[in-house]
Structures are given as structure tokens and as C-alpha cells.
Chain A
Amino acid sequence: MSDAAAENADRAPDAENALDAHTAPDAKNARDTDTTPDAKNVQDADKDPDADKDADKDRDMDVARDAPRAEVPRTAVPGGAVVWHHMGRGWMALGMWSERRVGLGEDAEPLLVHHGPTREGVVGVFDGAGGAGASIVAVSRTGVPRTGAWVGSRTARRCVEGWFLERLEDRKPFEVESLRSSLAAELARARPRVPSRILGSMRRMLPSTMAAVRYRVEDGRVECEALWAGDSRAYALTPGGGLQALTRDHTVETDALEQLVQDPPLTNMLCADRDFTVESHAVSLDGPCVLVCATDGCFGYVDTPSDFERHLLGTLMESEDEGDWAARLAARVSGYTGDDASLCLAAFGFSGLGELRERFGDRLRELEGRYAAGAEDDDPAARRRWRERAWRDYREGYELLMPSLEEGR
């Protein structure tokens, strides 16, 4: 085990291969989603991060460059989903990924990189925008057609991972503009050679959303910077505050219930052929917390925004260990979603799943007491009244950590 501890909950077809598949459809590197992980991108972190707190940072960084990396195992669960989980000391993480049509999932697999010595990391999700990027831009080695959305999400994922590791290792500041320009350059390099037959403002080359949180754990606090484009979301989940959004969707409609009801068009997303923005929002979280990143397949098919938190905590309470939580969450989301779905979460300051369950028990009971009644009403008008009432009650806490509307303009 190395002094450096970084890990990556990834086993996706890596974006380099997606890029190859895109630029040269029959290239030898083209892969399907069932290929093995690229081992060099996966690092082991089964180590006490506290032991490094006083270590020489330069030494840590040097070691980090050459550190052997181990894979966080992925587990296929019933229903075609895949989950990952890891338990560190004082922190834990899990990821889930599911696809609506086997082999065609346009979400990239979730990203988690955690660097033990500095207790910094990044979690993220990437949702290939199927409507805007439906054109086939590549064919995998095994003959599976790949859409622009499929390639876009994987290219974006690889870029964010590379950006974080490079800046970490070179001790460069994590400037948002450097991430945006890296994404723009990577996506532009991956542009299809053959233009889409369809034109217009709704079409994008390699379109993808992104929601990531770069974090640093320090003296019991978690310093976060949410980074996003589009309508994937990052949240903080705390026993006292519940689920609180750290991002604001890039849509004209800003009300989360209306976003659910309308499914509005995006005003910004990552892509290879137009300007885009990466918005950022810094938040400092005091005490134990969970960072959650999710694509709209997780939160966009519920009746009212509080339902997503009920699903997160309901599966937590039923689970026996972190792997079981991930599997239950994947099964739960697959049960209600109409889309590909991916989620990544990292919990800090809890001794284990038992403490997580204990600390969030009251919160789930409160949610069930406030919002469960009415969810099963057969009368559409009554259900509508219920979801509006539930949202009015839930909204203030949910939006407490959100960036202001002015912040993103």
C-alpha cells in the first residue's frame, strides 16, 4: 500500500477509448461498456488519511504521481445496474449506474477520485443528452452504434478526472476557467468527422451535462465547490438540513417542481460545437455530511422533489452495508425512472453505515410524516395538490445552499 492514496470508482469504458471510437469508428481501441477498467486510472485508498495529515506535502505529491492504483470493484446487480462502494476511515463512497436499454446507456459511469494525503477529491456524474445528440457518431469494435451523447458524456468524464489529477499533482489552482477550457478542447478534439444530417438550435455535437463537487476535508469541515453544466445536480445531505441542492439547473424555469412537471429545455450544456459555461458555487459544510451528485434519471421521475431524498434515506435505512445501500438505491431508481441514471456519493465524518443510519433516522421519519401521505392518491387533482403542498413545505430547506439566481448570470 502506498503513502499516496487516491481512488477512483471507475471502470467505465474510459474516455480515451470513447474518443477513439468516435474519431475512428472501427479503431482497435473502441470498446463497449462491459470492458475491464483501465487499471492505471484506479488507485487504492485503503489507508488512514489522518496518518498523512502532517506529512510533507511535496513528498506526498511525488509519491502520488507514481503510486500504484487499485480498482474499486464494480458489482452487477439485478436489473442490469452496476454499483461500486468503498469504505475508508472516516469516509465512505458509493456509486450506481443504470441504463434504460442494455448496452446503450448514455450516462458515463460516475466519477470518484479521492486523494488520501490531502483529503481532497472530486465526485461527479455526466449525462449524455440523447435528444440533442442522437446522431450516431461512432461504432464500437463489436459493432454497437454510439451516439454523440454517449461519446460526449465519457469524454467529459475523462476530462474532469484528468483536470483534477493534473492540478492536484502539479499543485495548480483549481480554476473553473481551466476546467471549462479543458472540456472545450477535449470535446472539440472529439468532434465527429461527419456532420449531423439535422441542423438547428436544438442540435449539439457530443452534448453532455455535468455535475461534480470538488472537495477538501479539513478539521471536521468539508470545503466544497460544485461545478456543473446542464441539469445534473449536486447536493449536500446532512442530518440537520436534509438534502440541499448545491447547483441550479441551466433552464429558464428555476422552480424545481416546475422543472419536474415541465421537463424544460436546457439553456447550457457541454458540447463540441458551441460555447458553454461551467458554473461553480463554493460551500463550506460543517460537520458530518454526504455529497451527492446525480443525473436527472435519479431525481427527474419522482412526483415532488422531496421524494428523491426519501429514496436516498429509505434505501439507506434498509441496507446492511454500503454495497447493499448502493444495490438497493440502484434497484429503487430503476423502479421509477424512465431514463439512464447515475449517482455518486461520498460521506464524511461518519464512523460507518451504522452511524449514517442512526444520524439520518429522524430525518427520514420527518420526511415520511410530512410528505408520504398523498403520494398514493388516485385522484390526479388531489395528487397535484399534494405535490404542490409538499414542495412549498420542502423548498426553503432544499434551496438554502443553492447559488442565487444572480450568481450564474
Chain B
Amino acid sequence: MTTGQQHTGNLRYAVDIVLCIDVTESMSPVLDTVKESALSFHERLEAVMTRAGKAISQLRLKVIGFRDFADRAEDAIEESDFFLFPGQAGEFERFMRRLEATGGGDFPESGLEALALAINAPWEKGLDRRRHVIVLFTDAPAHPIGMPEAMAAHTYPMHLPRTMDELFEEWGYASSATAVMEHSAKRLVLFAPDVEPWTSITDEWSLTMQFPSKAGEGLQDVEMDEIINTIVHSL
């Protein structure tokens, strides 16, 4: 052994990100921001990660658009598969372009159902230094998970937790036997107002960070650089 370079480790990060995006009407500002950045997202993320000393071995993105099951059963959830970057950047962009900020009904949305779907996503299991990041964007509180009016929708995913306690168990904690996601890998990043249930989740769930926004204003003050920096610092 003569030089460090000869022994450079292969310890790069395999990053899976699920973007849970509230696509009700008031959210058009942040939705437009993400749409505009869709094609360059992986390059920008990789650049910030490189500056932070973290190389990426694999990057996959998945999108879950959500509205309100009680209001619009047909398109309460719009969910993609994982897109592998950079090869599937075009497909990611096309999926994003199809999302329209519309509907919403009463103020709370089905954000907890989107979060539950994200927790149960098919995360990468094989590579080193896995990071499984859920990034949720909303400017509204959420209905209680398992709310009867929402469950009455014929599109409601019945396998989801029925209570907040069950959802917390699925997220889990250190050494938790009920956690669905790997403790070392998982992160939750909330771009959400300081209202319930987001305040409690931020206070009580492990490995969670919140970028508080103003309720009802569509996260219009959040820029893409801020989103990417926040994601990278969560890793």
C-alpha cells in the first residue's frame, strides 16, 4: 500500500427519494418549481452532494401527488414508480408535467395517506450507504388517517394504517421491530406549515426535519435550491 488513492473506498450513497406533493389548487407555486427543475433535479442534487463530500452510486425518485380522498376519490392519489436517474429523467419530467394543482375541498388534505404510501415504497435494499428520504410538500393540515369519509372512497388503499399510532409504529424508532423502513437509511423532510399533524410528527418522530411554511400559501417562498440543500443536509 503506497497511496491513499489506491484504497479509496467504494462507499457512495444510494439515494431513494419519494416526493409527496400536495397537488391541490393552492400548491401551484411549489408544484411549478418542482416541474421546472425536474430535468435538472439529479444534476443539482448530485452537485450539492459532491460539495458536501457525498458521492452518489444510485439515485431514484418516485412521486406521490395527493389531494383529498373525501373530496376527489378518483385522483386523490397519483403515484409513479421509482425513476432511475439519469436514464429515466425524461419519464420523471413527463409524470411531473401531468400533475395539475387542482381541487382540495376543505382545508385539510390526505397527506398522511401519502406519507403512509411513501413509508411502504419499494426502497433499495442492496447497495451501501442507503438513504431513503421522504420529502413531503403541503401548505395544509392533514385529515386523520383512516377517517371514515376518506375510507369510504372506492380508491382508498385499505392496507394503510388506520390510526396515527399505527402510522408511528410503521415509521418506528431506534431498534423498533415494527418499523417498515431501515433506521439508518430513513429520513423525513417536511415542507409543511406548523400545524397538526406536522408539528407533532416533527416533535416526536425520529430522523425528521421540518421546513415550516405559511398555511395556505403554497410554499411560494421555497426555492429549489433550498429544497435540494435541505434534502442533502438530511442525508
What is A's interface to B at a CB cutoff of 8 Å?
100-101, 130-131, 134, 197-203, 252-253, 260-265, 267, 300-303, 307, 310-311, 314, 318, 331-339, 368, 372, 375-376, 380, 383
Q: Among the interface residues B2, B7, B209, which one has the most CB atoms of the partner chain A within 10 A? A: B7
Known: A130-B52, A202-B207, A263-B11. A331 touches B4 (CB 8 A): yes
Q: A262-B129, A302-B7, A311-B1 are in contact. List 11 more A-B contacts (CB 8 A).
A: A131-B233, A131-B235, A199-B210, A200-B190, A203-B209, A252-B183, A263-B13, A335-B3, A336-B4, A336-B8, A338-B53
A202 and B234 form a contact (CB under 8 A): yes
What is B's interface to A at a CB cutoff of 8 Å?
1-11, 13, 51-55, 128-130, 174-175, 183-185, 187, 190, 194, 202-203, 205-212, 229-230, 233-235
Assembly CA distance A301 to B9 (angstroms): 6
Which single residue of chain A is at the shortest CB-CB distance from B187? A202
Q: Which A residues are in CB contact (< 8 Å) with B205?
A: 201
Which single residue of chain A is at the shortest CB-CB distance from B202? A200
A376 and B6 form a contact (CB under 8 A): yes
Known: A131-B235, A310-B1. A383 touches B10 (CB 8 A): yes
Q: Which A residues are in CB contact (< 8 Å) with B184?
A: 252-253, 262-265
Q: Which of A131, A197, A318, A335 contacts B5 (CB 8 A)?
A: A335
B4 and A332 form a contact (CB under 8 A): yes
A5 to chain B, nearest CB (A): 35
- By secondary structure, the B interface counts as loop
Q: Which of A134, A333, A339 contacts B53 (CB 8 A)?
A: A339
A261 and B129 form a contact (CB under 8 A): yes
Q: Among the interface residues A265, A311, A368, A372, which one has the most CB atoms of the partner chain B within 10 A? A: A265
Q: Which A residues are in CB contact (< 8 Å) with B10?
A: 303, 380, 383
Known: A100-B53, A199-B202, A372-B1. A307 touches B7 (CB 8 A): yes
B48 to chain A, nearest CB (A): 11
Q: Which B residues are in CB contact (< 8 Å) with A261?
A: 11, 128-129
Q: Among the interface residues A198, A310, A368, A372, which one has the most CB atoms of the partner chain B within 10 A? A: A198
B174 and A131 form a contact (CB under 8 A): no
B208 and A200 form a contact (CB under 8 A): yes
Q: Which A residues are in CB contact (< 8 Å) with B203?
A: 200-201
Q: Which B residues are in CB contact (< 8 Å) with A372?
A: 1
Which single residue of chain A is at the shortest CB-CB distance from B131? A263
B199 to chain A, nearest CB (A): 9
A303 and B129 form a contact (CB under 8 A): no
Assembly CA distance A100 to B229 (angstroms): 18
